[in-house]
Structure 1
Amino acid sequence: MSGNRNADDDNPSAASSRRHADNMPYVHKVGVPPKQNLLKEFKFTFKETFFHDDPLRPFKDQSISRKLLLGIQAVFPILEWGRRYKLSLFKGDLIAGLTIASLCIPQDIGYARLANLDPQFGLYSSFIPPLIYAIMGSSRDIAIGPVAVVSLLLGSMLQDEIDPKNKLEYQRLAFTATFFAGVTQFALGFFRLGFLIDFLSHAAIVGFMAGAAITISLQQLKGLLGIKTFTKKTDLVSVMRSVWTNVHHGWNWETIVIGVSFLAFLLLAKYIGKKKKKLFWIAAIAPLISVIISTFFVYITHAEKKGVQIVNHIEKGINPSSLHEIHFTGSYAATGFRIGVVAGMIGLTEAVAIGRTFAAMKDYHLDGNKEMVALGTMNVIGSMTSCYVATGSFSRSAVNYMAGCNTAVSNIVMSCVVFLTLEVITPLFKYTPNAILASIIISAVVGLFDYEAMILIFKIDKFDFVACMGAFFGVVFASVEIGLLIAVAISFAKILLQVTRPRTAVLGKIPRTTVYRNIHQYPEATKVPGVLIVRVDSAIYFSNSNYIRERILRLLADEEEGLKENNLPRIQYLVVEMSPVTDIDTSGIHALEDLYKGLQKRDIQLVLANPGQAVLDKLHASDFANTIGEDKIFLTVGDAVMTLAPKMEP
């Protein structure tokens, strides 16, 4: 009941007999926590914020040599799982690696064009980065390479700074942005700041991805229809205007036949693979089959002479060094940093989400911070070897998973196939029609438009749906950057709204129990005469303390008005249920003090129920507990009502 000692504390039997005599249940006391050491409290808070997963636990009670080995394995996980690798595992990794390679090669060529880069740069980005990730990454299922959303984002932001026709400078800025994307990802992981990417809500990501899917598909109309002059803008209105102004003279019917036919084939293969999981390989190899057939068809018919646009030339050979091309100083360095941070964060969000999804499906632990370090390192090294931003691809990772991958060796196998492609096969892609690449990209991004997730978001949370639609329409009708900005802004707005305007509830007693619940959720719950019980469903901080105080007073005023109209007894006690209040700051304490003073003037007593340790510490440190009286702080609402009822005026 209170924190003060009395004679019953030293004589339990006497207390027990008195309770039996009075026929009154025992009222538990609220424990007064011991005063916390400031240094220990700071260390605990710091640890829970940045090292909640206790990464140093494996190093405890180990010899120096063992700690060194564990440290190296932590940086390079391949040294840990590689020692246990068996030939029996290689079969699954080999099949998975070959399967995702057949999918990634045509996709890489298309995604590079999406980023306004020559086709070989897409292949470069599926050679070096997957090797680095296989050494440093901890996911068994992620397939690394360029992805559609990041390619579009990078391309649209880069072309705002430099015309893609100025190839050398454009490529240099792309490598610079990739370098800073890697630095951003590495820094977030190294300093254990990965929680920052969680500020982009799931709803905003769903909307952003859906908008990006439509924008990417619209961009492919240039290749699908054979249009030579096309807008550089990505919004729906500009793209459709560009399409219709070319309808009489810009469209090429041979290109349309090729593109639409193979798009239908790819979508059918995708549908079959989705309906029958065992036939996933059909969807995986369909893009490569499309490239082979269409390239052969164009070659034997010389369709390029009839206006069918083709790839023409892909640079042969593996990644050349690009270290000397990165802008480390000057205005382009700042521009590259700005673009790189945005691209890096989006790539990180996609990769971590994919990694967590498949880790949960296979029931193994994925260290998010290690993933960020691995992704950052591969992009930094990639920027020095003519790669642009690479990350985890959902479509390839899904194929990798369904093909039976066991470890990151599947990435190594894929990388080896890409190496052979760069060294031997690239000349064969000369006659590949652009329409096929457009079809492959459209079929790949269809899955990004998750309408089922949108419907679920609408059912669960209308504000989340607003965030989803805001990001979606921002991407579709403005630009990828604007859509991303809207997604981030709405995500933060939701956080601020929840923090500054927390929920409160009036509680009533559930019949035949001592349980008190929200009267709106449980209509059968009855209010206690003379007592108003209010629950605050949030920590009380400077951002919401005044609102909470005013909200409680409004609830009190409404209750008193209703009692007056019905000639019922007035409110004598205001009980604040504080179990959901996880923390309180100075402003929160001042708000409680103001509430207490306001209630005193109205001859109403303030009572607190079940404050947590962190809150109770601060109530005692501020002396507020003594101000209201320690006998006004109870363990439960039931204890408070049971104790206060006999004291109420008739």
Structure 2
Amino acid sequence: MTLKLLYDEVIERVTEEIRSGHSSRRHDRALPHIHKVGTPPKQNVLKEIKETAMETFFADKPLSHFKGQPASRKLVLGLQAVFPILQWGRGYDLGKFKGDLVAGLTIASLCIPQDIAYAKLANLKPQYGLYSSFVAPLIYAFMGSSRDIAIGPVAVVSLLLGTMLTDQISDFESHDYLRLAFTATFFAGITQMALGFLRLGFLIDFLSHAAIVGFMAGAAITIALQQLKGLLGIKNFTKKSDIISVMRSVWTNVHHGWNWQTIVIGLAFLAFLLTAKYLAKKSKKMFWLSALAPLASVIVSTFFVYITRADKEGVAIVTHIEKGVNPISAGDIFFSGKYLGPGIQIGVIAGLIALTEAVAIGRTFAAMKDYSVDGNREMVAMGTMNLIGSLTSCYVSTGSFSRSAVNYMAGCQTAVSNIVMSIVVLLTLVFITPLFKYTPNAVLASIIIVAVIGLIDIDAVVLLWKIDKFDFLACMGAFFGVIFKNVEIGLLIAVVISFAKILLQVTRPRTVALGKLPGTKVYRNIYQYPSATQIPGMLIIRVDSAIYFSNSNYIKDRILRWLQDEDESRKESSFPTIEYLIVEMSPVTDIDTSGIHAFEDLYKSLQKRGVQLILSNPGPIVTEKLYASKLMDMIGEDKIFLSVGDAVATYGSKADQV
């Protein structure tokens, strides 16, 4: 009996040694593949907060070139930062001026008729459009960083202002209406300057490209439909902007409100402008034809109405444009009273829309010429020009896409083209405005219709449908909101859908199951790569998002659902049940306390199922927070790996056979 006990003890020890040796050899075999996850050094909390703030608001390090410079040089650099013209102006020469002169004269010929027409969109007298193309471009030329953008009133902002101002003061002939327009312009400038100085320009990026495409297209159709008043010669026209009200107003006036002489003039010049636009688009060398066509239309139609006295037959004309330079309007701004609140509200909305359009245009042409545009500097420049503009009888101005395109095609070299345009507008205000008295409104309507057609980007809408259905929904929501209600509702829908997309992506991030590609050590999404095979006894899940309070519970529940579904499917196959759950965390850029708690709950749920939790490739921020919490103690450092391959090599008993 004693010998048998001794024999059993020896056999048990030998068996244990064999098992131990096998395990040791297995781990030795895996050791060359195992790399410990690096733990970032602990940082000072205040230093970390400072670095985060610097990266958020001062990623471009705007003050770096001031370091080590003498006081006199710092003054020069400071002035150049505020007025970029002092920097690039030193290398300005006659060759560049020739290009800017031609471009400036060309865009001036386009902007003069457009300014008169756009002022009508804002329900302002024609001279206020010209005022806005005199002061604003001058200021931008000294402060802006774009070489190609052309400044002035634009159709969308003019319509937005006209609609929102009329909601507050229905009588747009009253002086209070004009004062409210200046007040809105003042606060639009304040908003834009504040965004630039506080370096909060990233806020305008919350308006997604899809939402802007839909908003612009809807605004273009709304603007074009409203021009039927001038094109058809209708006198009693609705003040509403939605498509139903506009079409009802058009058809109720069909028997007595339409004027056939006006229709003939309007359609004739509309056909001419469209033909010129088509020829310019077909051949880039003919760009000047599209640029000069509006001014030519105004001159010819004005002369025709004057010699035929068509205005006596019911053809509506401009009648009068105030002569002279901008009068001071600082005393007309509402700084108190019942219109202060609406003025701020309208100004903020108009300022943001104007800024979004300008920044988009500036970046587009900067990319074409391979130079950079400073977004925050642009905001300060736009804000300054609108603030000063509000004090000199201007309304909200921004970058115009049609004029900027002509400016670019005409060979502009610098912002001096804006100065040339401004001087031409000044000469027009001083000497030529009386000649526009007989300009028919039908021609101005035709000019606006042709100008806004370019805002409808059908190719972009088709691309949105192909790439992202949610983006397409945002686009259509903004579009239908504008045409069936008004521009404010369309803008609100655009913002809401854009935020909804962000929230959906944050709160419902993707999680995917990974498998091993045959003949490699690479692990990829099993749905994207059907040949990727899953590891027996293991489930590998990748989380494609940072883990925050907003999505932590969803991620935990989704991982458990993955586990349950995989368990059920593997029961029906020869695969062994899942013993290890590997969470691949390389896309997880950050995790908060809610995320830590969610993983603690996940660990406890897995323990009840007899499944071990393993983490793979956590980033430095995530690793630091894992060590700072109890989660690391719960999981164990031996369950944290640099890669999925390391984890499989360590715990996957059949990994070598896969």
Settle same-fold status: TM greater than 0.5: yes
1:597-636 to structure 2, matched below 5 A, reads: 597-636=604-643
Code of the residue aligned with 1:478 in structure 2: it is K
Separation (CA, whole Å) in 1 of partners of 2:575 and 2:432: 89
1:285-296 to structure 2, matched below 5 A, reads: 285-296=292-303
The residue aligned with 1:228 is 235
CA contact (8 A) 1:116 1:164 kept: no
1:329-478 to structure 2, matched below 5 A, reads: 329-478=336-485
2:187 corresponds to 1:209: no
Once the two structures are superposed, what CA deviation does each residue of 1:112-146 show, in whole Å capped at 9, x if it has no partner?
00000000000000000000000110100010000
SS in 1 for 2:168: coil
CA contact (8 A) 1:19 1:25 kept: no
The residue aligned with 1:3 is none
CA contact (8 A) 1:203 1:465 kept: yes
Q: Among 47, 65, 70, which residue is 1:63 paired with?
A: 70
Instruction: Give every structure 1 segment of 4 or more consecutive aligned residues whose post-TM-superposition deviation is greater than 6 Å.
Output: 17-21
Residues 235-244 or 35-44, more deviating: 35-44
The residue aligned with 2:202 is 195
Once the two structures are superposed, what CA deviation does each residue of 1:533-566 show, in whole Å capped at 9, x if it has no partner?
0000000000000000000001110000101122
Q: Among 569, 573, 577, which residue is 1:566 paired with?
A: 573
1:554-593 to structure 2, matched below 5 A, reads: 554-593=561-600
Residue identity over aligned pairs, in percent, reads 75
Code of the residue aligned with 1:379 in structure 2: it is N
CA contact (8 A) 2:33 2:649 kept: no
SS in 2 for 1:91: helix
How far 1:647 sits from its partner (Å)? Answer: 9.3
Code of the residue aligned with 1:208 in structure 2: it is F
Code of the residue aligned with 1:526 in structure 2: it is T
Once the two structures are superposed, what CA deviation does each residue of 1:478-529 show, in whole Å capped at 9, x if it has no partner?
1000000000000000000000000110000011110100000001100001
How far 1:304 sits from its partner (Å)? Answer: 0.3
The residue aligned with 2:15 is none
2:154 corresponds to 1:147: yes
Code of the residue aligned with 2:302 in structure 1: it is T
SS in 2 for 1:160: helix
CA contact (8 A) 2:27 2:650 kept: no
The residue aligned with 2:310 is 303
If the length of structure 2 is used for normalisation, what is the TM-score? 0.95
1:78-117 to structure 2, matched below 5 A, reads: 78-117=85-124
CA contact (8 A) 1:343 1:389 kept: yes
SS in 1 for 2:147: coil
Separation (CA, whole Å) in 2 of partners of 1:22 and 1:525: 24
Code of the residue aligned with 2:601 in structure 1: it is D
Separation (CA, whole Å) in 2 of partners of 1:18 and 1:593: 33
The residue aligned with 2:167 is 160
CA contact (8 A) 1:535 1:577 kept: yes
Q: Among 62, 67, 79, which residue is 1:72 paired with?
A: 79
Separation (CA, whole Å) in 2 of partners of 1:194 and 1:391: 16
Separation (CA, whole Å) in 1 of partners of 2:287 and 2:444: 21
Separation (CA, whole Å) in 1 of partners of 2:208 and 2:287: 31
Code of the residue aligned with 2:470 in structure 1: it is F
SS in 2 for 1:331: coil
Separation (CA, whole Å) in 2 of partners of 1:310 and 1:330: 36
1:237-252 to structure 2, matched below 5 A, reads: 237-252=244-259
Separation (CA, whole Å) in 1 of partners of 2:359 and 2:634: 49
SS in 2 for 1:270: helix
Separation (CA, whole Å) in 2 of partners of 1:270 and 1:636: 59
Code of the residue aligned with 2:397 in structure 1: it is A
2:70 corresponds to 1:36: no
Going from structure 1 to structure 2, the CA distance change for 1:305 and 1:534 (only over 3 Å counts) comes to same
Code of the residue aligned with 2:264 in structure 1: it is V
SS in 1 for 2:286: helix
Separation (CA, whole Å) in 1 of partners of 2:45 and 2:337: 46
Going from structure 1 to structure 2, the CA distance change for 1:166 and 1:427 (only over 3 Å counts) comes to closer
Separation (CA, whole Å) in 2 of partners of 1:633 and 1:68: 54
Separation (CA, whole Å) in 1 of partners of 2:223 and 2:412: 29
Pair member with larger Rg = 2
Separation (CA, whole Å) in 1 of partners of 2:50 and 2:566: 45
SS in 2 for 1:646: coil
Separation (CA, whole Å) in 1 of partners of 2:342 and 2:29: 78
Code of the residue aligned with 2:98 in structure 1: it is K
Separation (CA, whole Å) in 2 of partners of 1:164 and 1:513: 75
Separation (CA, whole Å) in 1 of partners of 2:208 and 2:37: 38
SS in 2 for 1:376: helix
2:307 corresponds to 1:314: no
Separation (CA, whole Å) in 1 of partners of 2:337 and 2:348: 17
2:533 corresponds to 1:531: no
The residue aligned with 1:8 is none
CA contact (8 A) 2:536 2:654 kept: no
CA contact (8 A) 1:224 1:256 kept: yes
How far 1:274 sits from its partner (Å)? Answer: 1.0
CA contact (8 A) 2:30 2:646 kept: no
How far 1:165 sits from its partner (Å)? Answer: 3.8
1:124-143 to structure 2, matched below 5 A, reads: 124-143=131-150
Once the two structures are superposed, what CA deviation does each residue of 1:357-414 show, in whole Å capped at 9, x if it has no partner?
1111111111100000000000000000000000000000000001000000000000
SS in 2 for 1:41: helix
Code of the residue aligned with 1:63 in structure 2: it is P
The residue aligned with 2:494 is 487
Give structure 1 stretches of 5+ with no counterpart.
1-16
Code of the residue aligned with 1:302 in structure 2: it is R
SS in 2 for 1:344: helix
Once the two structures are superposed, what CA deviation does each residue of 1:561-617 show, in whole Å capped at 9, x if it has no partner?
101122531100000000000100010001010000100111100000000001111
CA contact (8 A) 1:19 1:26 kept: no
Separation (CA, whole Å) in 2 of partners of 1:639 and 1:514: 10
Separation (CA, whole Å) in 2 of partners of 1:579 and 1:157: 48
Separation (CA, whole Å) in 2 of partners of 1:26 and 1:61: 48
2:523 corresponds to 1:521: no
SS in 2 for 1:144: strand
How far 1:25 sits from its partner (Å)? Answer: 3.8
Code of the residue aligned with 1:523 in structure 2: it is P
The residue aligned with 2:3 is none
The residue aligned with 1:4 is none
SS in 2 for 1:606: strand
SS in 2 for 1:555: helix
Code of the residue aligned with 2:106 in structure 1: it is T
Once the two structures are superposed, what CA deviation does each residue of 1:22-72 show, in whole Å capped at 9, x if it has no partner?
486431111111112101110110011100111111112211111111011
SS in 2 for 1:392: strand
Separation (CA, whole Å) in 1 of partners of 2:153 and 2:609: 67
Q: Among 505, 512, 519, which residue is 1:498 paired with?
A: 505
The residue aligned with 2:4 is none
Going from structure 1 to structure 2, the CA distance change for 1:23 and 1:186 (only over 3 Å counts) comes to closer
Going from structure 1 to structure 2, the CA distance change for 1:457 and 1:22 (only over 3 Å counts) comes to closer
The residue aligned with 1:7 is none
Separation (CA, whole Å) in 2 of partners of 1:53 and 1:18: 53
Separation (CA, whole Å) in 1 of partners of 2:127 and 2:558: 62
Separation (CA, whole Å) in 2 of partners of 1:647 and 1:215: 66
How far 1:626 sits from its partner (Å)? Answer: 2.1
Code of the residue aligned with 1:245 in structure 2: it is T
SS in 1 for 2:535: coil
The residue aligned with 2:16 is none
How far 1:629 sits from its partner (Å)? Answer: 0.5
Code of the residue aligned with 2:651 in structure 1: it is L
